[in-house]
Structure 1
């Protein structure tokens, strides 16, 4: 797997537009849903930053500090993913060819990896927040309750949308390496934040308070990431099996009558003969 980590592949890229189509929604409806989710994510992020600047005793310090939190960074990632996915879906719905199809292969591979982060990381954020960090009682202010539900619960709902409705294939197993690498880079960012700003984004990363448990937390989250990847892989495979193999719903396409079956898709995926 490690030897394949930097290879982008030579097969035909996404021949039946799985990233831009759904087994249930038309391309236009899928575009609208993705655009709406992107709008909600960015509206939440910008409103939270502005509210904190306007109402916190320390001014915009809390807003500036938010960029050190994995929750905030992954939520920005959700916003940008759904924006990019909406653009690709829109161009496919309008012309029958997605903008993503015109990208160089490395960018196409990065989009695939981006998709994997979107369907894995939100579940880590939700589980860690509600299972480890949140100790109650419920938030006394409407703003606090809404912002935390949006960023620690609806984030997983957004991920479930991408798991359930598009026609995407299960992510390549080598994406596990990149998921762990990004988590390791975030761990480095957390300690850079402490060195620069004097605080740890998450208390379980503080060695003075947690001691050797810090290693256990870090290792546990890494293992949890791999487990969640496996669950996500299985759910996507199950969705494809049920919707396509059992129900015969091969997708709704931009061009009427274009509904390739599994055999046709494999033929389309073959590289052209010399």
Structure 2
């Protein structure tokens, strides 16, 4: 069993949101939960071409499917059932069977006009009722509640320091200028670049801008259209953010995660 697996909080049939203001990065169970006003979205509409035979969301790590690990963590951090976005009816049927019925997961079909992650985010933005969406891939088996919850805290408090934020190009500090207006998205930035599949999006910002995007555009194109996106350096997030953004595209990468090795994307 990997160290990351051992540090994962227990998950019951009743989701309990994480309160990062009262929980350290290594604590397993929060004591004073608050529910962020957000819906989590697990994107599972990909064809898994690099993974080989079968849907990678159904591959297992420590005896648990990736989709169950991701959805379980998202329930923990938001305190409400996540949305799972799929492309086909077959994907929905297979993933439904992999998740407990008591979790009340909602499925949506990717927006037909669009492709890739943007299609799933767009469909979720139409189905959700909360002002925020937290978006993650179904192939992120080390997703960490505290790393996710830190983004919710940032959205709520709007008190990030300018010298801990970085600009969209990742090179120079981005000034907050004392502006506490709500950003259209909050996106972590690691040494390897933006992490749009571990990010918060304003639901209204998605809905107001997707009509201007081309069918083959991705989340990067959406972010380029949004004014005031908050890009947050990893130094402003819990230490677990580094493993939380890990995604697996191949069976070899999954094997490396299972062995406790870092996966370079």
Q: Would you tell me which structure has more helix in proportion to its own residues?
A: 1
TM-score, structure 1 normalization: 0.26
Q: Would you tell me which structure has more strand in proportion to its own residues?
A: 2
TM-score, structure 2 normalization: 0.27
Higher Cα radius of gyration = 1
